[in-house]
């Protein structure tokens, strides 16, 4: 599993050459289907890109508006996720242009116009391959920005003792992580949550500023069991509105926030730095619990039981 995590910087370098199709000019909206570790790529992209409406869906359900002017993108690392395959088939019937990002399986069939990415990883470890083609196709980042992103990610592979200590203290106190992001990194908080679920086998909660100031701020002050939660908050050094909210929320509720400042200048670097920090934190929580971070047998069992 650690070797898989260490592949992220090469995914960034390799991924920066991938596109899902050459021309996006004729669509009015984009609908992205995907579940779990694959679906998160759609949610992260939805936050980064807003030149047209993007709807990220983690479900079987296809919206009524899907038709000729819709680009429907299915993301499934295995290519066999039943929810995503079902939804893409329905999009084809509705006349949408369909493309897929997959390492194989059903979605690698020609009718899904697939981008085939390297196989052999856990879906959640393939986030670079799954996400970067979306970014490349619709947004213009410079080669130097990809280079910086690969570099901050690789640095974390070689220097993460601090993360190990944080993980060990969380396990010692049997804490449940509460992760708070902010635009454009809200979905990264959800990515961390799912990494804690799959790697560490613990529950986790994700939310974001400013929405949490309308609800979570109340139990933060007066819930029972507060000491059993660990508040992990993405740093907002360059965003005065949010950084003021973070300080005010901690002060008013008398809470300890562990702030994780993203690194690098480009938004790509900050994005992948935060992703990778969460990868390692959830991995070390598993190790501190004496649990195999890779094993997700119950998901496999469930897939056999249902459609």
Is 36 an interacting residue with respect to a copy of itself (CB under 8 A)? yes
CB of 57 to a copy of itself, least distance (A): 9
Is 24 an interacting residue with respect to a copy of itself (CB under 8 A)? no
Active site residue 111: no
Find the binder of a copy of itself among 19, 24, 63, 116 (CB under 8 A).
Answer: 63
Q: How many residues bind a copy of itself (CB under 8 A)?
A: 68
Nearer to a copy of itself, 101 or 204 (CB): 204
Asked whether 235 and 259 are in contact (CB, 8 A), the reply is yes
Region of 34-42, 93-101, 140-148, 256-264 interacting with a copy of itself (CB under 8 A): 34-42
81: left (phi over 0), alpha (psi -120 to 50) or beta: beta
Active site residue 303: yes
Is 141 an interacting residue with respect to a copy of itself (CB under 8 A)? no
Token duo for residue 216: 């979570």
Give CA 269 to chain center in angstroms: 14
Cβ neighbours of residue 279 closer than 8 Å, sequence gap 6 or more: 5, 8, 125, 195, 199
Token duo for residue 268: 């790509």
- 207 to 246, contacts with a copy of itself by CB under 8 A? 208, 210-211, 213-219, 221-225, 228-229, 241, 244-245
Give CA 13 to chain center in angstroms: 18
Region of 96-104, 126-134, 136-144, 249-257 interacting with a copy of itself (CB under 8 A): 249-257
Active site residue 214: yes
CB of 241 to a copy of itself, least distance (A): 7
Is 296 an interacting residue with respect to a copy of itself (CB under 8 A)? yes
Is 59 an interacting residue with respect to a copy of itself (CB under 8 A)? yes
Nearer to a copy of itself, 9 or 270 (CB): 270
Helical spans, DSSP H, in the chain: 2-5, 8-15, 36-48, 82-93, 127-138, 143-158, 161-172, 186-195, 217-222, 240-253, 267-289, 297-305
Find the binder of a copy of itself among 14, 27, 141, 205 (CB under 8 A).
Answer: 205
Cα torsion 138, 48, 5, 197: sign: negative
Write down the catalytic residue from 26, 110, 172, 214. 214
Residues in the chain, total: 307
Element (H, E) at 29: strand 29-33
* Strand 29-33, strand 54-57: pairing: parallel
Q: How far apart are CA 239 and CA 262, in angstroms?
A: 12
Region of 18-26, 96-104, 268-276, 292-300 interacting with a copy of itself (CB under 8 A): 292-300
Q: How far apart are CA 134 and CA 31, in angstroms?
A: 12
> Interface residues with a copy of itself (CB under 8 A)?
28-29, 35-37, 39, 50-53, 55, 58-61, 63-65, 83, 174, 176, 178, 183, 193-194, 196-198, 200-205, 208, 210-211, 213-219, 221-225, 228-229, 241, 244-245, 248-249, 252-253, 289, 291, 296, 298-299, 301-302, 305-307
List residues with catalytic annotation.
Answer: 198, 214, 303
């Amino acid at each position: 599993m650690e070797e898989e995590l260490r592949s992220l910087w090469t995914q960034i370098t390799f991924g920066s050459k991938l596109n899902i199709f050459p021309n996006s000019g004729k669509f009015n909206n984009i609908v992205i289907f995907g579940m779990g570790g694959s679906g998160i790529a759609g949610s992260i992209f939805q936050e980064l890109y807003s030149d047209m409406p993007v709807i990220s869906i983690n479900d079987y359900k296809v919206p009524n508006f899907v038709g000729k002017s819709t680009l429907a993108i299915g993301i499934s690392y295995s290519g066999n996720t039943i929810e995503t395959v079902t939804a893409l088939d329905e999009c084809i019937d509705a006349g949408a242009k369909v493309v897929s990002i997959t390492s194989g399986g059903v979605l690698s069939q020609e009718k899904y116009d697939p981008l085939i990415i390297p196989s052999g990883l856990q879906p959640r470890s393939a986030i670079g391959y799954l996400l970067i083609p979306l970014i490349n196709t619709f947004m213009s980042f410079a080669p130097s920005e990809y280079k910086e992103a690969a570099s901050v990610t690789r640095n974390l592979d070689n220097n993460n003792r601090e993360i190990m200590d944080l993980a060990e203290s969380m396990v010692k106190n049997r804490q449940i992580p509460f992760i708070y992001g902010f635009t454009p990194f809200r979905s990264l908080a959800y990515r961390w949550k799912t990494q804690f679920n799959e790697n560490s086998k613990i529950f986790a909660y994700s939310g974001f500023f400013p929405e949490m100031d309308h609800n979570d701020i109340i139990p933060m002050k007066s819930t029972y069991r507060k000491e059993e939660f660990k508040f992990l908050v993405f740093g907002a050094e360059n965003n005065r509105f949010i950084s003021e909210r973070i300080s005010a929320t901690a002060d008013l509720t008398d809470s300890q926030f562990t702030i994780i400042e993203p690194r690098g200048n480009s938004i790509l670097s900050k994005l992948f730095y935060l992703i990778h920090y969460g990868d390692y934190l959830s991995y070390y929580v598993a190790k501190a619990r004496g649990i195999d971070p890779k094993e997700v047998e119950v998901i496999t069992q469930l897939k056999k039981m249902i459609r």
